[in-house]
Each structure stands twice: as C-alpha cells, then as structure tokens.
C-alpha cells in the first residue's frame, strides 16, 4: 500500500504540472495562435478517436488487468497474455476499419453541413484509433508492475508539451495547418513509443506466440468479461466525448472551439478529485476485501466533504472572475459566449466531487456490473439530452445536458450504495458548506469592479479565498483541513 500511495502522490505532482501546461495551451497559446474553428478541429479529432477506441480495443486492456494475476503464475503466462491482447487490439482495429468503411458516406454526411473539414482529416482519426488502442493496452500493462509515474509524465506532461511545440511551429510558419493536423499522428505516436521504450527499459516488453495457456473455458471467460468492459468503457467515452462530436456536427467546428476551450476552465475544478481517487481507490479495495464497512464509510464521507471544500472554492473563484479571464484572453469576447458552459460544467464537477467515491466503491465490490449498467444509462441519457438541448440552446444546452445527466447519475449511485452498504456521503457539514459557498458566491459577485482586469482578478480572488477559507475553518466543516492548518501553524510558530 505504501508503494501505491507514494506512486500516486508523485503522479499527482505531474498531473498538476500537466494541467498547468494544458491551461497555458488552452487559455493563452491556442486563442492567440489559432482560430476557433482550428481549435475545434484539433479538439474533436482526438475526441472522435477516443470514442472509437473504446469499442475497437474490444475491452481487452481491462481484461489484461483482470486476468494478469491468474496467468502470471504460469510459466511465460504474462508474456503470452500481452501477446494475445495485442492480437485482439489489431483484430478489433481491423473490424472497426471495416465498419467505418461500410458507413463512410453516412459518417461524412453527418459532419458535411457544419464540419466538413473533419471529413477531410478522418484518416487522422483512424490512425489515432490504432495508436490510442495500443497505448491504452500498454498503459495498463505497465501498471501491473506498479509503475505509474513515468506513464503519467508521458501522458500528462510530454503530450501537452508536444501540442505547445506543434502550435508554436504553425504560428511561426514553419509548418502549415494541415501539417499540424497530421502532426497529431506524430505526437500520439511519440507518446506510444516513449511508453513502449519505458516498458522495454523495465525488461517487460516480451512477446510469445506459443499461447499454450489457451483453452475454451478461459477464452469464454475472457470474452464475456471483455464484452462487459467494452460496453462500460464505450459508454464512459460517449459521456466524455459525445458533446464535442454532436456540437461539431450541429453547430460547427467554431462552436466546438469555443466550447472545448471554456470547458477546460471547469475541468480545472476537479483536478484534485483525480488525485484523491488514485490514492483512495486502493484503500477502498483493501477495506472491501476485509469487509471493513466502517472504514469505507469514513473514506466516503471524508472524501465528499474535502472534495466539496476544494471544488467549491475553485468554482466560486472561477465564476466570479470569468469576466476578468475573458478580458485577459485573446479574442476573449468570442469565448465569452461560452460563459454558461463554465457555469453548468463547473457546477457538475462540484457535484461529482461531492458524490465522492461512489464509482470506485461499486466497481471494487461484487456489484461491479451495476456500474456498467448505470454508465450505459448515462451515455444514452447524455445523447438524448444533447439531441434536444443543442438545437435549442447551442453550446449552453450541451453543458446543461451534461450537468443534468451527471446529477441523475450521481443520485442513482448514491441510492444504490445506501441500499447495499447502508450509508451516504453527506452529513450536516455538507449543508453548512453549501450555505457558506452560496454566501461567498453572492459576496464575490457583489464586490465592486476595478477597471484593470488583472488587478480585479487578483484582489477578488484573494477576498473570496480569505472569506471562504476563514468560514470553513471557523465552522469546522472539515476536521482534516482544520487539523492540517493547526499543524502548519504550530510548525511555523516553532521556527
């Protein structure tokens, strides 16, 4: 467990570093160097590839993680398993290419009206599907050896730096825009090559075509599990990527450029959630293994209030400073049309953080199939809501659809955990924090504005942080936060 927590903690640093680079790319470089249509294209191509990848890899990446402990006990078992998984990925990719070829005219027609440019670069999408499928497989493979730091550096930092370099080369006219788009293949290929090189460095990049462990019962188990995973991961990727694809089709790449840019503001709110999930999921797994329900309940409630504290602070600071952020951005008036996207998506991220570890608790338990069912329902709900709301309200409708669907998703999981385990994530402290957040939000909007956007942003953020953190401390909303502040105060007072 110590190794897992250490790896997660170091990985968290690189996750935040990657997010900082991504923020610079999204908020500074892209709006200055690219048009909103170009931004929309560069965003929707990977989103489309990720969506197809979740089906083309046939769920085999998670299957590798599931069956590795069993097969590595056999001689050469793990080597044969990764070989088998690579073969499955190549087979799935071939099937996907065949399906895409059959429906090519329908796919191009879907984007022809408002996003014809995407059809011109659909070959890039196809190649990325293969690269991302292999990367997902070997990312899971490297985790089997408890090595997550390097893969986080590659995925979170190196890839974003390559985007920075590519866009800068285009701006400096060293490459054309079509070359930048095809350069996506090079960027993601380098990401895969770096991961494979690291796996080789560990001495684990081995393959064997013997496959003498294969028998009908095992293949049946693998096939059934992979099918279930494919449905779950496919649905999850629909949830994550369908809004950009549907916006590009219905409203055009320019609208998606605005949406994907302001969407990133809200994503920054939940950054701490990803880190906390990495650290707490192994703890939940151990507690479930030992049937220690009180420990799970404690983690559930602590994670809920602590994530809600952090998410609430970032949300209030963001929405109260949106006008300042847009004023400081290049072409900020164009991106300001996505203000309500930030409101809705930001609020949905805070809600997700408040619902805490619902998904890991269910996924690690014997009820893991329920997660697949609910994520499939969420995907269907998201598509239906987008179909109705995007034509009516544009990109704001897509954001509201996401918020509503995720709220329903969170409620369903919370009720399920209450029925099966007997507890919920919320206490009276969550209610107190909600009142604090509403009060600080109202004050943040009511504060007088300075003419200089940068000065206003700094002073407004400082006052919001002071009021919010002071109230959280005074009303003892989080024992962990209060104890941490007391510890820091004592530590500095002794110096």
Tens digits of residue pLDDT in 106-149: 877 777 667 777 778 888 999 999 999 998 888 878 777 766 67
Structure tokens at 176: 């054309």
7 pLDDT band, cuts 50/70/90, is: low
Report the helix count and the strand count for the chain, using DSSP H and E.
24, 0
Q: So what's the pLDDT on residue 347?
A: 93
For the chain, the 3-state helix, strand and coil shares in percent, each to the nearest 5, are 85, 0, 15
pLDDT, greater one: 156 or 459: 459
Q: How far is C-alpha 57 from the chain's CA centre?
A: 19
C-alpha span between 154 and 148 (Å, rounded)? 10
CA distance 133 to 68: 18
Q: What is the pLDDT of residue 443?
A: 95
Residue 4, SS3? Answer: helix
Q: What are the pLDDT digits (tens) for 24-76?
A: 888 888 888 988 889 988 988 988 888 888 888 887 777 776 676 666 666 67
pTM of the model: 0.82
pLDDT digits (tens, 9 = 90+) for 428-447: 999 999 999 999 999 999 99
Query: What is the percentage of the chain residues whose pLDDT exceeds 90?
Result: 28
The whole-angstrom separation of Cα 323 and Cα 313 is 17
Q: Mean pLDDT across the stretch 86-90?
A: 87
Lookup: tokens for 185: 């293949």
CB 461 within 8 A of CB 318: no
Which element (helix H / strand E) includes 374?
helix 368-393
- In the block, which residue shows the tokens 């034509």? 391
- Alpha carbon distance, N-terminus to C-terminus of the chain: 33
What pLDDT, in 10s, does the model give residues 234-284? 777 777 778 888 888 888 888 888 998 888 888 778 776 776 776 676 677
The rounded distance, in Å, linking the Cα atoms of 130 and 119 is 18
Top mean-pLDDT range of 55-59, 85-89, 343-347, 485-489: 343-347
Cα three-residue angle 11-26-447, rounded to 5 degrees: 100
pLDDT of residue 12: 67
């Amino acid at each position: 467990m110590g190794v897992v927590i250490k790896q997660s903690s170091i990985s968290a640093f690189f996750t935040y570093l990657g997010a900082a680079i991504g923020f610079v790319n999204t908020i500074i470089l892209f709006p200055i160097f690219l048009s909103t249509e170009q931004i929309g294209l560069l965003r929707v191509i990977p989103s489309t590839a990720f969506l197809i990848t979740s089906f083309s890899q046939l769920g085999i990446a998670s299957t590798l993680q599931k069956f590795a402990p069993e097969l590595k006990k056999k001689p050469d078992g793990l080597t044969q398993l990764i070989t088998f998984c690579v073969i499955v990925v190549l087979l799935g990719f071939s099937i996907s290419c065949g399906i895409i070829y059959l429906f090519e005219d329908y796919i191009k027609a879907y984007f022809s009206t408002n996003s014809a440019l995407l059809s011109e670069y659909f070959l890039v999408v196809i190649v990325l599907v293969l690269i991302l499928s292999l990367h997902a497989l070997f990312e899971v493979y490297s985790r089997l050896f408890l090595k997550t730091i390097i893969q986080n550096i590659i995925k979170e930092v190196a890839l974003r730096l390559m985007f920075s370099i590519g866009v800068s080369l285009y701006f400096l006219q060293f490459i054309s825009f079509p070359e930048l788009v095809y350069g996506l293949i090079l960027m993601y290929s380098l990401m895969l090559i770096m991961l494979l090189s690291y796996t080789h460095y560990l001495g684990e990049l081995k393959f064997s075509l013997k496959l003498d462990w294969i028998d009908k019962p095992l293949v049946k188990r693998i096939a059934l599990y992979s099918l279930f995973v494919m449905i779950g991961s496919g649905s999850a990727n629909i949830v994550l990527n369908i809004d950009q694809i549907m916006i590009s089709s219905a409203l055009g790449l320019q609208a998606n450029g605005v949406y994907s840019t302001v969407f990133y503001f809200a994503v920054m709110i939940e950054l701490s959630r990803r880190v906390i999930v990495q650290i707490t999921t192994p703890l939940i797994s151990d507690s479930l293994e030992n049937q220690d329900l009180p420990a799970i309940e404690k983690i559930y409630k602590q994670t809920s209030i602590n994530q809600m504290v952090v998410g609430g602070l970032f949300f209030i600071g963001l929405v109260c400073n949106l006008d300042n952020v847009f004023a400081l951005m290049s072409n900020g008036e164009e991106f300001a049309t996505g203000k309500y996207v930030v409101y809705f998506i930001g609020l949905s991220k805070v809600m997700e953080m408040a619902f805490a570890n619902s998904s890991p608790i269910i996924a690690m338990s014997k009820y893991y199939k329920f997660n697949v069912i609910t994520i499939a329902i969420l995907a269907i709900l998201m598509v239906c809501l987008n179909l109705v709301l995007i034509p009516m309200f544009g990109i704001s409708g897509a954001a509201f659809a996401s918020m509503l669907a995720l709220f329903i998703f969170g409620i369903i999981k919370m009720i399920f955990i209450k029925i099966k385990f007997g507890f919920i994530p919320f206490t009276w402290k969550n209610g107190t924090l909600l009142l604090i957040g509403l009060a600080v939000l109202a004050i943040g909007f009511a504060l007088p504005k300075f003419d200089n956007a940068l000065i206003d942003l700094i002073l407004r953020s400082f006052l919001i942080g002071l009021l919010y953190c002071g109230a959280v401390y005074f009303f003892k909303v989080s024992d962990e936060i209060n104890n941490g502040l007391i510890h820091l105060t004592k530590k500095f007072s002794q110096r």
